[in-house]
Amino acid sequence: MNKNYYGVIMAGGVGSRFWPLSRKKLPKQFIDIFGNKKSLFQEAFQRLSNLCPEENIYIVTNEQYREIIHKEIPGINDEQILGEPHPRNTAPCIGYACYKITSKNPDAVIGILPSDHLILDEDIFTDTLKEAYKFAEEQPYLLTLGIQPTRPDTGYGYIQMDEKHKIGNIAKVKSFTEKPNKEI
């Protein structure tokens, strides 16, 4: 396992989108939604632990969820939990985690994952992450992962790839549109 590979799990959501099951005190990322005895957060942690040493996995979360994370991942070091005093959304969360990690290891290759995604094919996802880590280790680029959409949906962002600048499965981003209207 590469000691320079790090993972960050964004687990700061406050439970507003999956109400009434999800609540502020126990948001969806910490609930066993599918009845498999694991929360979405635990599944995200397991996915990253297949690629990164467990001590290189950091969680950015609302400070009030620190105790839940310790219950969900017994033995996790308190320094791996980056508690936000106030929720500030995705960009500050990523910036905060990257600052903390690169201060410790300037050679870090960092993968950022949400805590609440359902991944149906773990093997394909793991292979994709391995390819992304390897590419990011060798090239000075930021990478983003996407899936091929099957329908238009105004709740998601869309990546347009530049097919002229492609290496294997990795292509340059031509444009990104955050939650476009249905016509676009």
Q: What is the pLDDT of residue 64?
A: 86
Q: What is the pLDDT of residue 17?
A: 63
Task: Using 50 as the pLDDT threshold, list the residues of the chain that sit under it.
Answer: none
Q: What is the pLDDT of residue 18?
A: 60
- Residue 154: what are its φ and ψ, rounded to 5°? -75, -5
pTM for the complete prediction? 0.87
Q: What is the pLDDT of residue 142?
A: 84
Q: What is the pLDDT of residue 22?
A: 57
Q: What is the pLDDT of residue 12?
A: 78
Q: Are 10 and 84 in contact (CB under 8 A)?
A: no
